Chains A and B, each alone.
Chain A
Amino acid sequence: MTEQRFSPLRLLVAAIRPIDPILFGLLAVLLGYAFVLMHSASPERIASLLVNAGVALAAMWLAARLSPQRLLSLALPLYAAGVLLLIAVDLFGETSKGATRWLDIGITRIQPSEIMKIAMPLMLAWYFQQREGHIRLREFVVAGALLAVPVALILVQPDLGTSLLVAAAGFYVIFFAGLSWKLIVPVALVGIVGIGAIVGFGDQLCQPGVDWQVLRDYQKHRVCTLLDPTQDPLGRGFHIIQSTIAIGSGGVLGKGWTEGTQTHLAFLPERHTDFIFSVLAEEFGLLGALVLLASYLLLLLRGFVIAAQAPSLATRLLAGSITMIFFTYAFVNMGMVSGILPVVGVPLPFISYGGTALVTLCLGIGILMSIQRSRTLAKS
């Protein structure tokens, strides 16, 4: 910083220094998929995808430049602001498609639940950092409460998908912080048994009059159509049926770029957002899908390596949970479009169209880069 003379080359080097080349390379591959698929699914959105990607990369770059400590210092204010905004949404939010998710702040509409996807792990990582060396049951109870408040606020919007993702993000921090297996295993067992029961008794549970108490009607339908999409082929089952037809008809090599009949004849619903994977599988086949799967796997691997080598408890927890968030997005989205998970409205990370989600995800990448850089700095 003592260098006074202006030099474009030095500026460039300084600019790209925070960028982790492996993460950036994988991100470039995924964004490449996004542009290729968007050209087929919804070419008129290419320009706005370009803008979104630009904003997201800038956010990534900013996060990568900041030190992990600076980022963690934002945890509490970000979390507090997120919770307040969620309350505001529940009170004054705009309703669209039966759910109140948007808040109009004059210049633009924002979706506060998206903020929580990053704020939540940040907050919990910061909290565990504060209690480092004294992490006992009490700390896990407090962490659970910090997690439960926003999750509950999002759930009443109602937005099952996002609330599950936020809950998962928080849970990963708690898991990596060392929550006893004695507590994890029973919860996991209850979950498996519960899902098993729904699958086993789906026919009775999905009868029209049956009230599922905790879940709303539309959520019940999502689960029920997953169990038997043919029940309602032109209604709620349409998405899953058409999506599996698109994937299956793609075969090994696919029908070719922009040649997907399911995509281009509008059989595929939401083809530029949640169902963009079906476009990929239809046009590029099993090969295209496996290459994408491999790219995600490499991204996760890089994330886990960064987490394992992170210099502090908070950065470890943060890196581990962000990596698992990427995994969760990718698995839930591909699982739902291929018909093994219910349709919960989770985008395919880095590829589905949607500015807020892309910015959030790239912020996550930026944070990983920041953590990676702090390790190198700490070493040197």
Chain B
Amino acid sequence: MTEFRTPEEELGRFRRRVLVAGIVALVCFGLLAARFYYLQVVRHEYFHTRAEDNRIGLVPIVPTRGAILDRNGVTLARNFAAYTLEITPSQVADLDETIDALSEIVTIDARDRRRFRKLLEESRNFESVPIRTRLDDAEVARFVARRYRFPGVEVQARLFRDYPHGEVASHVIGYIGRINLRDQDRIEERGDTANYRGSDHIGKSGLELSYEAQLHGVTGVEQVEVNAGGRAVRVMSRTPATSGSDLELTLDIELQKVAEAAFGDRRGALVAIDPRTGGVLALASKPTFDPNLFVDGISTADWNELNDSPDHPLLNRAIFSAYPPGSTFKPFMALAALTTGKRTANQAIADPGYFSFAGHRFMDDKVGGHGTVDLHKSIVVSCNTYYYQLANDLGIEGIAGFMAPLGFGSRTGIDIPGEAEGVLPSPAWKRSRFKKPEQQRWYGGETISVGIGQGYNAYTPVQLANALATIVNGGKVFRPHVVRHVIDTASGERRAIQPEPIRQLAIKPAHLAAVRQAMVDVNKSGTGARAFTGAPYSAGGKTGTAQVYSLKGSKYVAGRVTERLRDHSWFIAYAPADNPTIALAVLVENGGFGAQSAAPIARQVIDYHLLGARLDAPAREDAEAADTEADPHAEHDAEPSP
């Protein structure tokens, strides 16, 4: 470039360079055109799909959960709308800072923070998590005015579950709670993921759990156009949600209240069944708990109080706890005797006050015995000796073979989850229950204690109530149920849950009549007479006392030990005697004699059921006074003496 050039040469070189520049520009534009062709023609389909994916979002519409009503239409579980303050963690830079700032506007206490942390762990990052629930209007207004300061925080109107009767019937109704990871796994297993997109609560116990499919409803979906910020800007199509069905129960909440109140602060359970249908009229387990505590996530303090209490309020004793039936087993034994032909109704024994077997004496509770005892008297006075002999004659296989069809030792199939099987003892059961060969052997003496409802016998209150219902309805075994109608909220269609007879037992009406007559006389002149004094109807019943063998597994609590050593008190009853509409089993833990604490509860419940009013049953003070008086009719089943 140092050489001299003429202006013409310079111009020529310049023009060549312009040409080079022009060619470079042309090539580069050609490159762009090729790129556009590639993007807009070759890969158009792909990008078209990507653009559609971008713009269309599916928003689930959460269905309204069905309500739960009692047999008279009284609401037991319902929804109400309230505002929650929710944070989407992925959109918030500093959670603690945000929560601190929010707490200056709305009340956020330590409990809210703890619950938020817990829910945060269980949820995915892009889901909103409530920091406060049930905001009042003033709080909503204060937040909305300052919303711009809180990206990723929003007020949402949500439906909450409310149990207006609180602690009453909580073991039946159950509760819902936030869907946790375990629930999510279960939903996935059921292939129900799509239907729960958007739902954040699910039934956790009771009917809320067992009828989850009906109560939940079908999630709807809204196809919306979303912008880059993820906000819906336009609804494109909408499939509305189908609300969950309402449940109408066979349960009578007023009867339930009477039953629960009758327990006072004693522990125990009551199951009342309509023997004509298997419908559950009342099902109580005491102590109980407030299901409302669980809806938003129970606080650790509340949980510990419920879970650590020696009274185990969360335990549904009515269906999960199995107790030896004590003397309430005797009417069933008597029926076994008649059905198998081991005894006739009129056949009588002489009761010396004990029964000798293999060199041991099994004692009656009445010193000197009841004298001449036939089947009727054996039930009315609850004579042990009669049943020691009978058990020995029937043999354990005979007893187990007769009791199994009545539902003893197997789940009744009631529509509340968490039912226990109980134990109907038999040599086969013992072999599978124990490991060591010497423990697996069945001893004849064990049959004799089974005969009076002690020993290995263990049945849940619902089993006993259902077995009683079977012998008072002519031998039909129903699957007990709490729900009577499933009501489609959209169409109003009421789908009845039909009484479900599982089997008809071949028991002669005469035999049933003999046993029932004896049970009616129990309440007239026998062990239940005091509790049913002055009843304007005729009711059958039977007392029972289940022995508490040991305190193993129970915490030592000063001042309660003596009470907890006491026997459990049973009473089974039905009424009216000639056409029963209610059959029930009452258990009072450590209640002592059956006649003393369980029978008055049964009386109050039957009074309310038949007479529609709370009549004052014999006062409890009376019964307690009787304790010291040594009531002549009180029974005490003897422990098999070794």
List the interface of chain A (C-beta within 8 A of B): 135-137, 172, 175-176, 178-180, 242, 244-252, 261-262, 265-267, 281, 285-286, 289-290, 293, 296-297, 300-301, 304, 307-308, 313, 316, 320, 323-324, 327, 331, 334-335, 338-340
Contact = CB atoms under 8 A, between A and B. Distances in A.
A340 B35 CA distance: 8
B18 interface: yes
Given A252-B41, A286-B41, A340-B31, A308 B48 contact: no
B41 A251 contact: yes
A293 B33 contact: yes
16 contacts: A176-B21, A244-B39, A244-B47, A245-B50, A247-B39, A248-B51, A261-B55, A265-B228, A266-B227, A286-B37, A297-B29, A301-B22, A323-B21, A334-B32, A338-B32, A340-B35
Contacts of B40: 247-248, 250-252, 281, 285-286, 289
Contacts of B55: 261-262, 265, 267
A178 B51 contact: no
Contact of B51 (A249, A301, A340): A249
Main secondary structure of the interface of A (DSSP, over half): helix
Main secondary structure of the interface of B (DSSP, over half): helix
A324 B17 CA distance: 12
A156 B229 CA distance: 34
Contacts of A265: 54-55, 225-228, 233
A374 to B, nearest CB: 16
Nearest to A254: B40
B610 interface: no
Interface size band for B = 35 or more
B228 A242 contact: yes
Given A248-B43, A327-B25, A262 B51 contact: yes
B47 A248 contact: yes
Top 6 closest pairs, chain A to chain B, by CB: A248-B47, A249-B51, A248-B39, A265-B227, A286-B40, A249-B47
A38 B41 CA distance: 25
B404 to A, nearest CB: 64
B192 to A, nearest CB: 30
A247 B36 contact: yes
Given A281-B39, A327-B28, 7 more contacts: A250-B40, A251-B44, A261-B55, A266-B229, A289-B40, A313-B10, A320-B14
Nearest to B229: A266
A137 B1 contact: yes
A261 B41 contact: no
Contacts of B44: 248-249, 251-252
A297 to B, nearest CB: 6
A334 B28 CA distance: 10
A56 B36 CA distance: 30
A39 B226 CA distance: 21
Interface string B219-243: 0000001111100010000000000
Given A247-B39, A251-B40, A289-B40, A178 B227 contact: no
A17 B228 CA distance: 49
B43 A304 contact: no
Interface centre among A175, A265, A289 (most CB of B within 10 A): A265
Nearest to B11: A316
Given A248-B44, A248-B48, A265-B233, A338 B36 contact: yes
B26 interface: yes
B633 to A, nearest CB: 80
A225 to B, nearest CB: 17
Contacts, number: 137
A245 B51 contact: yes
Nearest to A251: B44
A324 B104 CA distance: 60
B549 interface: no
Nearest to A340: B35
Interface in B205-255: 225-229, 233
Interface in B27-69: 28-29, 31-33, 35-37, 39-41, 43-44, 46-48, 50-52, 54-55
Contact of A180 (B1, B21, B46, B225): B1
Contacts of A286: 36-37, 40-41
A318 to B, nearest CB: 12
Contacts of A250: 40
Contact of B21 (A242, A285, A320, A335): A320
Contact of B36 (A289, A296, A308): A289
Interface centre among A249, A250, A290, A339 (most CB of B within 10 A): A249
B620 interface: no
Nearest to B56: A261
Nearest to B42: A248
B508 interface: no
Nearest to B53: A245
Contacts of A335: 28, 31-32, 35
Contact of A297 (B26, B48, B226): B26
Given A249-B48, A338-B32, A340-B31, A176 B18 contact: yes
Contacts of B10: 178, 313
B16 to A, nearest CB: 10
A267 B55 CA distance: 9
B628 interface: no
A285 B37 CA distance: 10
Contacts of B1: 135-137, 178-180
A289 B46 CA distance: 19
B111 interface: no
Contacts of A293: 29, 32-33, 36
B2 interface: yes
A65 B32 CA distance: 35
A331 B32 contact: yes
B124 interface: no
A285 B41 CA distance: 10
B18 A248 contact: no
A261 B51 contact: yes
A281 B36 contact: yes
Interface string B1-26: 11000000011011101100110011
Contacts of A176: 14, 17-18, 21
